[in-house]
A and B are shown apart, each in its own frame.
Chain A
Amino acid sequence: MSHEELTARVRSIIAATQQLPQERISADSTFEELGIDSLDGINILFAVESEFNINIPDEAAQSLRSVRDVIDGIAKLLDSGQGNQATASA
């Protein structure tokens, strides 16, 4: 998956869970700017885990402060072999 595609999917998930217009959300947006609190954050991660079929550890979840943090975190997990492709081949 390209970085652009990953970014687009994450923006779309956040838009859907937060009921925000997608154009308000960029990779540089912080959770604070978007009004995302801790409970919203775990809801977004739940949607992300389902979308990409990954498991985000609690410790990693605690350090997420921006959309970019989420994108980078997913990329790292996908690179490590988690996710849709691994499931498809299983």
Chain B
Amino acid sequence: MPRRVVVTGLGVISAIGLNAADFWHALQGGCSGIAPLKAADRSLLRFSNGAEVRNYVPAQHFDEKELGLLDRFAQFGVIAAREAIAAAGVEWTGELRERTAIVTGSCVGGQNTQDDGFVNLYRNNIPRVNPFTIPRTMENAAASRISLETGVVGPTYTVSTACSSSNHAIGQAFWMVRSGAAELAITGGSEAVFSLGFLKAWEAMRVVSPDTCRPFSKDRRGLILGEGGAMLVLEPLDAARARGASILGEIVGFGMSSDAFHITQPSPDGAARAMRAALYDAQLEPAQIGYINAHGTATIANDAAETAAIRKVFVEHADRLAVSSTKSMHGHTLGAAGAIEAAATILALRNGILPPTANFTGSDPACDLDVIPNIARAAVVEFALSNSFAFGGLNAVLAFRRFETLPSQ
């Protein structure tokens, strides 16, 4: 009998809240964190809005020496991990440190640092690049820093699969705890996307909205980039109960697939295979799912393909499911998306409130699902999926369960 894996800690830093409580407050209020960009010169861009982490003061979290070694993306990962570990009340022992895994996701790592260094080199004719550029830029910078801070010496690594990175990371961590390969896991992802070079690259893809992010809406015009991070603490149910930890939710399944179709266009078949794989891993029937936190990027292609995929998997039950894209509020955080949306899904199940799809203006026949337009909905749901589909055709889906705490516990 495989072990049940529960979430005992959760941390978030995002455009709609610098901690999990504020994040959840904004989500249930349908508050969007999308606003005019401050990090880059908007006159050099065709789009002008993003979901930036505002009012974040790095010096409140790190001393100067630490900041010298941490790109913004890694800072977000470390801050979310600290919150998650504190919430879980983890009490470290030498043995637990050896049996703990850290698995993080990031799509582009410290590209802010790289951009700054290369501007100096190529434009400012400064022939030297900061010696910390490599440790700041590496995608595993957050995972390594979390390991250094906690003293965790078990399996620690980072997964980079574009927009599916942190769903792949959480899925790996979940399987490690379920199988007994780890006794505890710190897992999630982080991303910091707002450098001019990277924004120009997204501009060239022609998928960024000139106004806001309107997933599944008839007048959606593309995605809105976001930054942030989220981390979870996972452990076996028995261990969590034995130490009297408060249990926020349960991960029950993980599924992956590759489209083998096109490097950027989504395939409903690939997405459907990943959702089916997650259901199979969780030993669930499609009709048991009550909510899907959609990939829902608000590009023309994704939302129609995702709707088609959901219809393939759920058939008539697709009309009884609630689906929302919280990217309408925290933006598309690329390699952090799965982690931030896992946090949203766990909190939704726990609180009995499904977050809405914000900025929704009207139905598109190609996206004819119940997308919880604009206003959160009270609903007690037992099982939910959270979808991540990446450029490159790599799909990762997590299945969650509401954790019922008995009055005696």
Binding site for B on A (CB under 8 A): 37-39, 42, 45-46, 55, 57-59, 61-62
Contact = CB atoms under 8 A, between A and B. Distances in A.
A55 B46 contact: yes
B205 interface: yes
A73 B221 CA distance: 20
B331 interface: no
B46 A37 contact: no
Interface in B206-259: 206, 208, 210, 221-222
B181 interface: no
Give the top 9 A-B pairs by smallest Cβ distance, nearest first.
Answer: A58-B206, A39-B264, A42-B206, A61-B206, A46-B204, A38-B265, A58-B46, A42-B205, A39-B263
A57 B265 contact: no
A40 to B, nearest CB: 10
Main secondary structure of the interface of B (DSSP, over half): loop
Interface residues of B, number: 14
B379 interface: no
A57 B262 contact: no
Contact of B222 (A37, A45, A55, A58): A58
B301 interface: yes
A42 B203 CA distance: 10
Nearest to B47: A58
Interface string B286-301: 0000000000000011
Contacts of B205: 42
Contact of B204 (A38, A42, A62): A42
Interface string B257-291: 00000111100000000000000000000000000
Contacts of B263: 39
B255 to A, nearest CB: 26
A37 B265 contact: yes
Contacts of A39: 262-265
A58 B204 CA distance: 9
Nearest to B209: A58
A57 B46 contact: yes
Contacts of A55: 46
Given A46-B204, A58-B206, A58-B210, A38 B46 contact: no
Interface in B288-341: 300-301
26 contacts: A37-B262, A37-B265, A38-B264, A38-B265, A38-B301, A39-B262, A39-B263, A39-B264, A39-B265, A42-B204, A42-B205, A42-B206, A45-B206, A46-B204, A55-B46, A57-B46, A58-B46, A58-B206, A58-B208, A58-B210, A58-B221, A58-B222, A59-B210, A61-B206, A62-B206, A62-B300
Contacts of B265: 37-39
Contacts of A42: 204-206
A42 B204 CA distance: 7
A69 B72 CA distance: 43
A59 B208 CA distance: 11
A42 B222 CA distance: 15
